[in-house]
Chain A
Amino acid sequence: MASVPIAHGLLLAGVLFVLGLVGILVRRNIIFILMSIEIMLNAAGLAFVVAGARWGQPDGQVMFLFILTMAAAEVSVGLALVLQLYHRFKTLDADAISTLRG
């Protein structure tokens, strides 16, 4: 198997995470925001697996499994909410849905 320095693996996970973060902050379309969230979750899971591989234990993979499960549930609920949102506001603009202002 490969023997990559752990720093590189974690750096990759960090870069992917940061890209997802930028995606959330920049895009106005809700679908894109959800996609960026998926990118971030994936990157976090990557970090876990890298860590698990460093110790040679399956725990990292187990964590990724849980993250995956959570992402699946979150996506289904999130997309259902997006559908409702589109039905009510007739737009997918995140900036337009700001009725919870203080």
Chain B
Amino acid sequence: MNTVFYISAGVAIVSTFLVITRRNAVHALLYLIVSLLSVALIFFALGAPFIAALEVIIYAGAIMVLFVFVIMMLNLGPQAVEQESRWLSPGIWVGPTILALILIIELLYTLTLEGNQRVGISNIEPKQVGIVLFGPYLLGVELASMVLLAGLVGAYHLGHRDQTKRSRGL
């Protein structure tokens, strides 16, 4: 199981790096899906099978699909790819990379202060998660459903294109 963890971790990092450097949006999305699947494997290795399933179903299965739909709706075409290659000059990577390195160094420093416990010893069953959700986190579940309702209504209203010529956007 340890090797599964490390291999999946490597795949995740590489595919994420590829996501942010692609010029074609659909390519980037597909690499993102790969990254999410490898993270799901990591979850499974750490003893959280329920969450692993959810990651695949919801994140990779629904959210990414939504992304794909929207990109297809935008109907961008090959000039979008050329535009991206114009925008992605090597010079602009310098600043963010430095910022990223600073954050990683800080994280490493904090991690060295911690003890070296081991994780993933036990498997946490979906039933346990369910009991906790219906117990202490009941309110959170209700709030989460509120968020989803708000997202639903907002997305419908914002995405609605007024058919008459008076459309002023929102």
A–B direct contact (CB < 8 Å): yes
Residues of A within 8 A of B (CB): 1-12, 14-16, 18-23, 25-29, 31-32, 34-36, 38-39, 42, 46, 49-50, 52-54, 56-62, 64-66, 68-77, 79-84, 86-88, 92
A18 to B126, CA, bound (A): 30
| A32 lies within 8 A of B100 (CB) | no
Interface residue from B29, B51, B103, B155 paired with A14 (Cβ < 8 Å): B103
- Tell me the bound Cα distance from A52 to B132 in angstroms: 13
Are A61 and B118 in contact (CB-based, < 8 A)?
no
A50 near B46 with CB under 8 A, answer yes
Not counting A11-B107, A25-B95, A87-B169, a sample of 14 additional A-B residue pairs whose C-beta atoms are within 8 angstroms of each other reads A3-B121, A4-B46, A4-B118, A5-B119, A10-B111, A12-B42, A15-B13, A19-B13, A25-B99, A26-B88, A52-B48, A62-B129, A76-B152, A80-B158
Number of interface residues of B (CB under 8 A): 88
In the bound complex, what is the Cα–Cα distance between A87 and B17 (angstroms)? 30
A interface SS class = helix
Interface residues of B (CB under 8 A from A): 1-2, 4-5, 9, 12-13, 16-17, 19-20, 25, 28-29, 32, 35-36, 39, 42-43, 45-48, 50-51, 54-55, 58-59, 62-63, 66-67, 70-71, 73-74, 76, 80, 83-84, 87-88, 92-93, 95-97, 99-100, 103-104, 107-108, 111-112, 114, 116-124, 128-129, 131-133, 137, 140, 144, 147-148, 150-152, 154-156, 158-159, 161, 169-170
Residues of B with C-beta under 8 A to A68? 54-55, 58-59
Secondary structure class of chain B's binding surface, majority of residues: helix
| Cβ–Cβ contact A84 & B169, under 8 A | yes
User: Known interface pairs A1-B45, A2-B4, A86-B74. Does A21 touch B122 (Cβ–Cβ under 8 Å)?
Assistant: no
The listed residue (A1, A27, A38) touching B47 by CB distance below 8 A is A1
Contact residues in A for B144 (Cβ distance below 8 Å) = 65-66, 69-70
Also in contact, A4 and B2, with CB within 8 A (given A21-B100, A61-B48, A82-B70): yes
User: Does A66 lie within 8 Å of B169, measured CB to CB?
Assistant: no
Given contacts A4-B2, A58-B124, contact A39 B70 (CB under 8 A): no
Does the CB pair B39–A66 fall under 8 Å?
no
CB proximity of A13 to chain B, nearest CB, Å: 9
Minimal beta-carbon separation of A100 from chain B (angstroms): 15
Q: Does B116 contact A19, Cβ atoms closer than 8 Å?
A: no
Complex CA distance for A70 and B141, rounded to whole angstroms: 11
